[in-house]
Structure 1
Amino acid sequence: MVHPVGLAGFLVAVLPLTATPGASLALLVQHVTDGGRRRALPVVLGTVTGLYIHAALAVAGLSALVMHSSVAFTVVRLIGAVYLIGLGVWTWRTATPAPRRRPRHRTDSVYAQALLANVLNPKAASIYLTLVPQFVAPDRPIGGQILTLATAHALLITLWLTAWTFLVLRATRVLQTPRFKRRAARATSAILIALGVRAAMA
């Protein structure tokens, strides 16, 4: 079990990273704008699932192997970059649907997008390889401590994305027009492409 002081310190340390706009927030804004609050849940669940996958990899030592191998890390980074750019292009294309056809997003599709956006994000992996070890006591079971920190991280991200959901819902009630939705989708696509390009050039 992580000491309460250490847990609080971890949350303070990870808060700026959580508040930094990224793929999860971009997907949340796009999907909530397009489909309402019901689209927020799969984005949150996909993001949280990704965190637990990173935590599990950190426990197993697989992430450490990737981070210590420049070739493996580069492969992961480029895969993530290609995915974000591809998702951004897809989002841009669906921002202007064909006449009489409205793009339909299945809940599992939204979940998969959020999950992959998190799992393929090297920044999320680095949190569990560089930040988490600072708050883990080596004389205690590592797995339980990392699970506790991952759960606290997941709750923090859930609160953050939930707050954004309400902000987006209030905005869309005022600007609930096809033009606003198209602009929001295109802004999201631009963010995703920019994140992908930055990841590829990092």
Structure 2
Amino acid sequence: MISAESLAIFILACLALCATPGPNVALIVGTSLKHGRKAGMLSALGVNVGIILQLAAVAAGLSWLVDLFARHFDVIRYLGAAYLIWLAVLQWRGAGKMGDKPMPTRRASFGRGFAVAFANPKTLLFHAAFLPQFVTNTADPGPQIALLAAIFALIALVGDMIWAVVADRARAALAGRFTRIADRVSAGILAGGALVLLAAGRR
């Protein structure tokens, strides 16, 4: 059984990780700034479904998937960065234009989040290295890793939803003549997420 002290340290580490902006947060914040809370939360949901699948792969001991991501590390992150840059360009070109283009569908908002979650190979590799550090039963680590994965997934989901809500409130504060500024800030955040992916190394 995981000790209370180890569990507390793990939760604090998860909180710190989820509070650190990265490509996932960039997408959620950028989407909320441009399209509002609902689209941002759907993107957050897509991101976290992707994260849950990654955590499930680690908990199930699917080392072949981890190896696959490791072998194609650069290809995956370059594709992810290109996708975020494409979204940033769309945001920039549509800055201040509310009626020209329709809001993204629920499926599109969710799909963007899911795609970006898998566009960062470092996330899966990190989970595979991070979770086992808190396992005390090395003979049968599966149940403890599953518990840690579930805790991380819950914290990540709540954290990302908070990012979406905060970004939506900023959008409301910048409504009206500042809409173009909000849209371009959104584009800049997405581009920043792409830069984070491009700068990501294996360590």
**Which TM-score applies when normalising by structure 1?**
0.82
After TM superposition, the structure 1 = structure 2 runs for residues 68-107 of structure 1, keeping only pairs within 5 Å, are 73-97=70-94, 101-107=100-106
Whole-angstrom distance in 1 between the partners of 2:18 and 2:74: 19
Q: Kindly provide the CA deviation profile for residues 89-111 of structure 1, in whole angstroms up to 9, marking residues without a partner as x.
A: 23322432389521431112221
**Residue identity (%):** 23
After TM superposition, the structure 1 = structure 2 runs for residues 35-50 of structure 1, keeping only pairs within 5 Å, are 35-50=35-50
> Is the counterpart of residue 55 in structure 1 residue 55 in structure 2?
yes
**Map of 2:123 onto structure 1:** 124
Q: Kindly provide the CA deviation profile for residues 6-29 of structure 1, in whole angstroms up to 9, marking residues without a partner as x.
A: 322212223332222111111111
After TM superposition, the structure 1 = structure 2 runs for residues 121-200 of structure 1, keeping only pairs within 5 Å, are 121-139=120-138, 141-177=140-176, 178-199=179-200
Give 1:63 shift: 4.2
Give the counterpart letter for 1:95 in structure 2: W
Whole-angstrom distance in 2 between the partners of 1:34 and 1:64: 34
CA 1:61/1:112 → structure 2, altered by over 3 Å: closer, same or farther?
same
Q: How large is the Cα RMSD of the aligned pairs?
A: 2.6
The gaps in structure 1 that reach 5 residues or longer are 67-71
The structure 1 segments of at least 4 consecutive aligned residues displaced by more than 6 Å after TM superposition are none
The gaps in structure 2 that reach 5 residues or longer are none
**Which TM-score applies when normalising by structure 2?**
0.82
CA 1:52/1:142 → structure 2, altered by over 3 Å: closer, same or farther?
farther
Aligned residues between the structures: 197
Give 1:141 shift: 4.1
CA 1:201/1:145 → structure 2, altered by over 3 Å: closer, same or farther?
closer
